[in-house]
Amino acid sequence: MELRNIRALVEVEQRGGFSAAAKVLGMTQPTVSKAIQQLEHDCGFPLIERLGKGVELTTAGEIVYRRGLNMLTERDHLMAELAGLRGLTRGRLKLGIPLLGSSLIFAPLMAAYRRKFPEIEIELHEHGSARLEEAVRAGEIEIGSSLLPVPDDFRTQPLRDEPLTVLLPEGHTLAKRKKLKLEELKATPFILYESGFAFSSVILNACRRHGFVPIEAARSGNPDFIVALVASGLGIALMPRMVVESGSFQSIHCVPLDEDDLRWQLVHIWRYNAVLSPAATSWLQLVSSVMHPEDKNPNIGNVE
């Protein structure tokens, strides 16, 4: 069973078809098909079902795909460590960042990382935090981003701890308040984040702790569209203070939320027992030096 055939299966699944996978792999489509056929022969099971223009993994294919991701990751780690012995800096950083607040937090960090490690390839995955947790578990990425609290199977590194701001449309009865308590919003429809965002669970759990289930007006995974929905009068939304302060919102009133138990606490996550690649370890160390310069001995590195 050859790793190049396993990689062909991984790319076909991630790219959604043979043609797109062939472009990424630098192969012809027939060559990719032959690689999958050889892998199916080695495994003794069909791995892919062809459905019109798309593909779908069989049960055996899902197993090979999941295990294959881990095998390819370990290969990358091996090559990176050997490169380190030769004094090289090549490698690949597989990083997951959130859709909310990423331009403010990660753009300067990535620029600093690129200056320090220009030969390391950065592979970005942009999703909601819940989806990034799944990607870390599956081995699709090494480091993701999520909101506290996170499950016990992750290690974490603090990124940002922000109070929340309530976004209200013009004319709302609470728009002129200087601060708001969460229970004061229970009669107003909420515009929530889609299920792939851990932020939705954080908000819903906080509402329940304060004795109510919020009225749901809509859900979206696009922060800009959520702002537009608030401006249109559909409902109210919650956002981290830094996101609100960085933008200019028309037809919207922004009022601080006065709740200590509801904050936007963003952290890096990686698998608890993972052995991180040199590229990933270097990223965490850089983030710690930039975000937490007072911490002279960050607890970052490979975890056996």
Do 153 and 281 lie in a common domain? yes
Element (H, E) at 219: strand 216-220
Instruction: Give the position of tokens 């779908």.
Output: 56
In this structure, the answer to whether residues 236 and 102 fall within a common structural domain is no
Same domain, yes or no, for 201 and 121? no
CATH number at residue 132: 3.40.190.10
Burial pattern 88-127, b for ≥16 Cβ within 10 A else e, equals: eeebbbbbbbbbbbbeebbeebbeebeeebeebeeeebeb
Question: In this structure, what token pair is assigned to residue 56?
Answer: 């779908």
In a domain, 303, yes or no: no
CATH for 23: 1.10.10.10
The answer to whether residues 257 and 197 belong to one domain is yes
101 sits in which H/E element:
none
Q: Which residue segment(s) compose the domain that 229 sits in?
A: 164-262
**pLDDT tens across the length of the chain (304 residues):** 888 999 999 999 988 888 888 888 888 889 999 999 999 999 999 999 987 777 899 999 999 999 998 888 888 778 766 766 555 467 789 999 999 998 899 999 999 999 988 888 899 999 999 999 999 998 889 999 999 999 999 999 999 999 999 999 999 999 999 999 999 999 999 999 998 899 999 999 999 999 999 999 999 999 999 999 999 999 999 999 999 998 777 889 999 999 999 999 999 999 998 888 888 998 999 999 988 766 544 455 443 3
Please tell me the total count of domains within the chain. Answer: 3
Domain assignment of residue 23, yes or no: yes
